[in-house]
Amino acid sequence: MLTHYPAGAATPFVTFMGAPRRSDTAEPQSGFAVVGAPHGIPYSVRQVHAGASDAPRAIREKSARFGAFHGHHDFDLGVSLDRYGALPLVDCGDVFAEPHDLAAGARRVTDIVAALRRAGARPIVLGGDDSTTALAIRGYEDSGPVEIVQIDAHIDFRDEVNGVREGYSSPMRRVSEMPWVRRIVHVGARGIGSARSQDVADTLAAGNRIVSARIANREGAQAVLEHLTPGAQYHVAFDCDGMDPSVMPGTSAPLPGGLEFDTVVDLVHGLAKRGTVIGINFAEYFPALDVNGITALAITRIIVNLIGASLAQQRTA
């Protein structure tokens, strides 16, 4: 179900931040588990291997230089990561997908996330296109209820596109239909995208909330946190185009005026204090469109902040 580069391959497998490899997702564990989900549900055969499919590899490679820095002072956290002991992080490799049976690969993403949750881990899913988001959250069926914080320039609430209901314009619509999802807070919306006015009306009617990028940057993390239940479980669904292109240029739909890095870091820390972040997934990172690996670096730093903030809360709880 999971695959690593074989031993002796020309391009050896690099784990996220040098974390230990673990192929058995059912093995009991506490902490965070990285898993790559390069392939989702494409709209056409031409998108079977989209540019975003290279994201898990690129993120791991960019993170590698920080693997030995656990003992160094982190100014975002105020301490070093190893202040809390051995880093509770493993890398489970990538979800295998057969090009002629992508539906089976999609099910594997959900099954692996569910297995990691049953084992006690918090999944960090390095995804391909945005269709992988719903696949990951579907794995929380036995972990609910959960509230979703979607960081995205778009609300992704289309019911279907050319008859495809699981594509990258529809993950939040599908997520809203999952009984274990209590609420979605869309964060970072701006500009124009695939959403119709009816899609906006539908998500609001379902009890979800929209916090635009302008409001989030101006009012800070509290503008998002106030819509979330204190003490609840949260999952962060992260689309790279939610950030300003100066922070994450490596995406297929960059728009000016996106979320600032500090806004997102403050939000991650605020979520860890308000409740429990049980997982995060990333989508829509196109390494070929990146500039000097800045996007992969920003993703790495957001993950580090999430881990550090969560460990700090566990220590003070």
Tens digit of each residue's pLDDT (9 = 90 or more) over 38-97? 887 764 445 455 688 899 999 999 999 888 888 899 999 999 998 888 889 999 999 987
Q: Which of 183, 93, 97 is nearest to 135 (CA)?
A: 97
User: CA-to-CA distance for 151 and 65, rounded, in angstroms?
Assistant: 26
* pLDDT tens track for 1-52: 565 444 444 456 799 999 999 988 878 788 999 999 988 776 444 545 568 8
Q: How confident is the model at residue 167 (pLDDT cuts 50, 70, 90)?
A: low
Question: From CA 303, how far away is CA 152, in angstroms rounded?
Answer: 17
Q: Give the Cβ contact number of residue 44 at 10 Å.
A: 9
Strands of the chain (E only): list them.
Answer: 2-3, 31-37, 73-74, 79-80, 89-95, 121-127, 146-151, 181-189, 209-212, 233-239, 276-283
Q: Which two tokens stand for residue 246?
A: 């100066």
Task: Give the Å distances, CA to CA, from 159 to 13, 34, 202, 205.
Answer: 38, 30, 10, 15
Chain segment 183-242, per-residue pLDDT in tens: 999 999 999 877 889 999 999 999 999 999 999 999 999 999 999 999 999 999 999 999
Instruction: Point out which residues pair with 237 in neighbouring strands.
Output: 150, 281
Query: pLDDT tens digit string along 231-278?
Result: 999 999 999 999 999 999 999 989 999 999 999 999 999 999 999 999
The three-point CA angle 59-61-64 to 5° equals 105
Nearest CA-CA partner of 136 in 276, 271, 281: 281
Residue type, position 126, single letter: L
CB 67 within 8 A of CB 17: yes
pLDDT tens track for 118-165: 999 999 999 888 889 999 999 999 998 999 999 999 999 888 766 666
The Cβ of residue 233 has, within 10 Å, a number of other Cβ atoms equal to 18
Q: How far is CA 131 from the centre of its chain?
A: 12
Other CB atoms within 10 Å distance of the CB of residue 24:
12
* Distance from C-alpha of 248 to C-alpha of 243, rounded to nearest angstrom: 6
Extract the tokens encoding 161: 């596109």
Question: What is the rounded distance in angstroms from the CA atom of residue 303 to the CA atom of residue 287?
Answer: 18
Residue with tokens 């009991």: 28
CA distance 288 to 243: 18
Spatial contact of 81 and 104, defined as CB atoms under 8 Å apart = no
